[in-house]
Amino acid sequence: MFILLRSIKYDSMIDVGAYFGYFSIYLDLVQQAEVIAYEADIDNFKQLQFFISYNNSKVKAFNNAVGDVVDEINFFKPTCQESGKFPSHGQIGDPSKDSNNLYKNLKYTKQSVKMLPLKDIIELHLKGKTLLKIDIEGYEEKALRSAQNLLKQLKDIDLIVEIMINDTNSLEVFNLLQDCGYKGYLITNAGLVAEDRPLVLPKPNADPHENKLRTLWKNHFFTKRSSQEIKKLNLSIYKYNI
């Protein structure tokens, strides 16, 4: 991820589900891009603000959930001891009511937070060549559908989307972005691997019957750049074109 972020020039970045701002602060510092970050969890948001200040970063951060409509929603935050104070898997919607949810058996508290549509956020912050990173714990499909018509029209916006092996809508997310004119690539340590479907691979030596399988590579790059440009990019920054 960091190799990719420092190797492609962007004028702006929209980081949706920023957590502590690992990627948004990094892009700001290495590229001086105009970076906007959204984080729904209030405790994580305060840590995000701390790290922005600590690194003398110019990232602008907002304490909002991002989805498909303007609404005041319940954000569910895990409170079990294993999650710690700053869990990264808080989510919109009650996990206990989703039989496929990886964290359905954890204890949660509810936080009230304002949700904004992804479409409105893109229209507000799009500037030049833009990178949209979206990692919102299973709500990616609904958020992207709110911006589907807009993404069809835009040329200069790349996306990084987290897709996990346990996500039941991974194919829907992938097909949605293909419908918008994007080609998908799995981000690996040896470069971008072209996908005709989401390559959601389990970590090695894991029991395939385990319902909490972890994903080996989980970030996927979606772009309207040509295959030749991606090949050139792969060879120049990763030394491989797989």
Q: For residue range 217-232, list pLDDT tens digits in order.
A: 999 999 999 999 999 9
Q: How much is the pLDDT for 171?
A: 96
Q: How much is the pLDDT for 99?
A: 66
Report the predicted TM-score, pTM, of the whole model to 2 decimal places: 0.92
**Mean of the pLDDT values across residues 126-131?**
97
Q: How much is the pLDDT for 90?
A: 75
pLDDT of 128 above 90? yes
pLDDT of 105 above 60? yes
pLDDT over 90, % of the chain: 72
pLDDT bucket at 81, cuts 50 / 70 / 90: low
Q: Minimum mean pLDDT among 59-63, 174-178, 200-204: which range? A: 200-204
pLDDT bucket at 101, cuts 50 / 70 / 90: low
Average pLDDT, whole number, for the chain? 91
Q: How much is the pLDDT for 20?
A: 95
b/e code 52-91 from CB counts within 10 Å (16+ = b): beeeebebebbbbbbbbeeeebbbbbbeeeebeeebebbb
pLDDT bucket at 111, cuts 50 / 70 / 90: confident
Per the CB < 8 A criterion, the answer to whether 161 and 134 are in contact is yes
β-pairing, 71-78 vs 157-162, is unpaired
- The structural domains of the chain, ordered by start, are 2-237 (3.40.50.150)
Q: How much is the pLDDT for 109?
A: 83
**Mean of the pLDDT values across residues 101-126?**
87
Q: How much is the pLDDT for 102?
A: 64
119: amino acid identity, one letter: K
pLDDT of 82 above 70? no
Residue 227 CA to its chain's centroid (Å): 23
- Between the alpha carbon of residue 179 and those of residues 88, 109, 141, 144, 151, the distances in Å are 30, 37, 13, 12, 10
pLDDT bucket at 87, cuts 50 / 70 / 90: low
